[in-house]
Amino acid sequence: MIYLMPMKLLKLKLFFTIASIIFACFLITSFVYSGRVLVAVPTKQNQGRNLENSPPEVVIVKPSSNDRFFWNTIIQYSIRVSDKEDGKSEYDEINAKEVLLEVCYLPDAASAKIYIDKKKTSKENTGLTMIRRADCFTCHASKSKLIGPSLEMIAKKYQRTESSIERLTKNVINGSTGTWGNIAMPAHKALQADDVRQMVKWILSNAAIPNSTFYPGMESAFKTGTKPVNGSAKMVMVLTASYTDHGEKNSMQHTRYGQYAVSLKPAN
Ligand code: HEC
């Protein structure tokens, strides 16, 4: 004889079966979903921060490449920088002293093009990036004496040997006085010796290169050179503005370098 369940009990059993199936489905779905959320979010963020640091966009607003320049004359310049992570110079989000203008004179348009193309493919030297970020340009100009000796004077005084690199590194970290006059260079205890060593190496290798002068600042002025005795009317002045962004947490990893060049012909 078949045992017949009372209708009420059967309904109750059916109800619990369906309810537990729905509950199981809910558990599985929420587990899979939460798993996906937990995994997906950090991956996206990591990509944004580490791998996709956008390069800064640098533009020389003034002068323009159609302008002609006069020898031995003050030229006003203006640079604009925009970086996805660091911000925009028009909103004062870019530190002006980290923006550099390099001025260089070349014999003709063809050599200016080679010079600009070579620069486009090169990466900035880490020593120079660290000089931008430290306070060095407050007291040291590239080619003229400011509060401290010019970087060119330093590069001419010391050979690039291990002993002079070590000596200068110590002097930048501990401060120095008496070598160049009575004005003292303050100590830079917060800087790491390895970083200062790279800055010193950059100074000793590059600061005495004739015909290349760096000016810090976004809106400033510089004086053009005196017309070379054997300089021809074909000579070109190349202005290269550059900025190195801060990447993640100001580290030197994943920084991106942006630059922009204009070449100007002489008016006389
Ligand atoms: C507040 C001004 C000031 C700042 C900032 C400054 N310097 Fe100097 N620096 C000087 C002065 C002044 C001297 C000359 C000191 C002397 O006569 O011994 C000097 C000298 C030097 C020398 C030559 C030292 C020697 O023994 O001949 C080097 C190299 C140098 N500075 C690098 C740097 C670097 C790199 C920075 C940035 C991290 C920097 N300076 C920041 C003022 C400054």
Res 17 pLDDT > 70: no
pLDDT value, residue 42 = 37
pLDDT value, residue 227 = 86
User: In percent, how much of the chain has pLDDT > 90?
Assistant: 67
pLDDT value, residue 32 = 43
- Please, which pLDDT band fits residue 144 given cuts at 50, 70 and 90? very high
pLDDT value, residue 21 = 60
pLDDT value, residue 143 = 95
Of 81 and 255, the structure prediction assigns the larger pLDDT to 81
Mean pLDDT across the chain: 85
Res 253 pLDDT > 60: yes
- Residue bearing the CA closest to ligand 1, atom 16: 177
DSSP secondary structure of the chain = -PPPPPHHHHHHHHHHHHHHHHHHHHHHHHHHHHHHHHHHHHHHHHIIIII--PPPEEEEEES-TT-EE-TT-EEEEEEEEEETTTEEGGGT-S-GGG-EEEEEEESSHHHHHHHHHHHHHPPPPHHHHHHHHSSHHHH--SSS-SSS--HHHHHHHS-S-HHHHHHHHHHHHH-B-SSSSSPPBPP-TTS-HHHHHHHHHHHHHHTT-TT-EEEE-SEEEEEPPPPPTT--TT-EEEEEEEEE--TTTT-STT--EEEEEEEEEE--
- Residue bearing the CA closest to ligand 1, atom 2: 139
pLDDT value, residue 52 = 73
Of 94 and 230, the structure prediction assigns the larger pLDDT to 94
CATH 2.40.50.140 fits 53-266, yes or no: no
Locate the ligand 1 atom nearest the alpha carbon of residue 176 and give its number. 18
What global pTM score does this model have? 0.80
pLDDT value, residue 206 = 93
Pocket test for ligand 1, best of 135, 137, 172, 200 (most atoms within 8 A of CB): 172
Using a 6 Å CB cutoff, which residues line ligand 1?
134-136, 138-140, 147-149, 154, 168, 171-172, 176-181, 183-186, 188, 199-200, 203
38-90, pLDDT tens digit by residue?
333 333 334 444 457 889 999 999 999 888 999 999 999 999 999 999 999 99
197-215, pLDDT tens digit by residue?
999 999 999 999 988 999 9
Segments making up each domain of the chain, as ranges: 7-52, 53-266
Mean pLDDT for the stretch of residues 228-244: 89
96-134, pLDDT tens digit by residue?
999 999 999 999 999 999 999 998 888 899 999 999 999
